[in-house]
Amino acid sequence: MAGSIGILTAGGDSPGLNAAIRAIGKSAIRAHGMNVVGFLDGFRGLMQNRYVRLDEDALSGILTIGGTILGTSRDKPHRMTVGDERMDMTGVMLDHASLLGLDALVAIGGGGTQKNVLRLSGRGLPIITLPKTIDNDVWGTDTTVGFDTALTIATEAVDRLHSTAHSHHRIIVVEIMGHNAGWLTLGAGLAGGADVILIPEIPYHLDRVATSISSRKASGRTFSIVAVAEGSRPVEYRIHQQELRDRIAATVGSDRDLAERTLAQLRAGALSHTTNLARSLEELTGLEARVTILGHVQRGGTPSSVDRNLATVLGTAATRFIADGVVDRMVAVHNNELLGVPIDEVAGRRKIVPPDHPWIRSARCTGVTFGD
């Protein structure tokens, strides 16, 4: 099949993006005779018609490079900042895709990207998406590009923190990325031997966490590692947060901008959660506590072999789907098989850690506390 396709990366960066771009581009050119362009900085590049030709030379040597050679952004097609206004630029993007003669667009992104592309596919632009996010929370796929690398980085950090925690008889609270899903914290905590794992899916009781650490202290284990996800919160906070959300919904009404600003303020107020947790545990246990926030180091660097292979398999499948006329699908992995999941089934849904997941059951059996 001859023709042209476009590629863009959207949302947060993630290890393995360049491996995916390479796989899509090379398979499109070699296996299907397609022309390939890459839009710069996500949907904004499509809106501004900023793109580069992706030929064999452009795709050479990028397999092991972190980040994305195309750049990325969190812009939404229907609410894009243009000057001082937010505007629906969906029509402009469709026009640019038409002018370039694109047969399909391949968008590599997380949950937000799956929602954003619906506005384009719903108006006639054929789209294939690839799931990527270090949070592993895209619904409909067993795993996402970037998760394995981030998990390895976070696990190594937990490993390294054991020695200083043991030497100084401290509580080390390590914050790991994950606002809404605890896959990364759970996996790193379990693999790294954390004593406490706190994830968004399981609101915790501070006193129960402190009691567990105090019990370790009483038995002669005078240090503890607490792996905490960004979005984990105590039970009391969750109740208070829901009350605030209900109040916002009642008072803000249809003013979505005001609602988003108000929620942003709530999130900003929660940024000190990990520090407050460490301070509280110090007071309740009598052990000195220190905080380590891994932050964006989890997103960076060379992707693992697992992520490179995953990105390559998903990317080559994407061009095969397009060549076969199968579009408006996310290329997913389920039980080691590749599937094309309808994007409208994925959009707006999130894969969170189920309470009976084997990792949780195994952690509990080995003495890990979740604070519930």
Judgement on whether residues 105 and 232 belong to the same structural domain of the protein: no
Judgement on whether residues 87 and 61 belong to the same structural domain of the protein: yes
Indicate if the pLDDT at residue 19 is higher than 60: yes
Judgement on whether residues 173 and 120 belong to the same structural domain of the protein: no
Judgement on whether residues 359 and 227 belong to the same structural domain of the protein: yes
Judgement on whether residues 209 and 329 belong to the same structural domain of the protein: no
**Domain containing 125 — which CATH number?**
3.40.50.450
Judgement on whether residues 22 and 169 belong to the same structural domain of the protein: no
User: For the whole model, what pTM was predicted?
Assistant: 0.89
CA gyration radius for the chain?
Answer: 22
* Residue 286 located in a structural domain: yes
324 is catalytic: no
Specify whether the CB–CB gap between 278 and 175 falls below 8 A. Answer: no
Encode pLDDT of 310-334 as tens digits.
999 999 999 999 999 999 999 999 9
Indicate if the pLDDT at residue 236 is higher than 80: no
Encode pLDDT of 116-173 as tens digits.
999 999 899 999 999 999 999 999 999 999 999 999 999 999 999 988 888 888 999 9
Judgement on whether residues 225 and 319 belong to the same structural domain of the protein: no
Number of H helices, E strands in the chain: 14, 13
Residue in 41, 103, 135, 328 annotated catalytic: 135
Judgement on whether residues 227 and 192 belong to the same structural domain of the protein: yes
The CA distance from 167 to 146, in Å, is 33
Q: CA 241 → CA 80, 265, 267, distances in Å?
A: 28, 12, 10
Judgement on whether residues 16 and 72 belong to the same structural domain of the protein: yes
* Residue 68 located in a structural domain: yes
pLDDT, average across residues 73-86: 88
Structure tokens at 281: 């545990």
**Domain containing 155 — which CATH number?**
3.40.50.460
The CA distance from 2 to 215, in Å, is 67
The single residue listed with the structure tokens 């208070």 is 240
The CA distance from 154 to 152, in Å, is 6
- Number of domains forming the structure of the chain: 2
Residue 177 belongs to domain spanning: 151-299+354-365
Q: In the chain, what percentage of residues exceed pLDDT 90?
A: 77
* Residue 341 located in a structural domain: no
In this structure, the dihedral spanned by the alpha carbons of residues 82, 83, 86 and 88, taken in order and rounded to 10 degrees, is -30
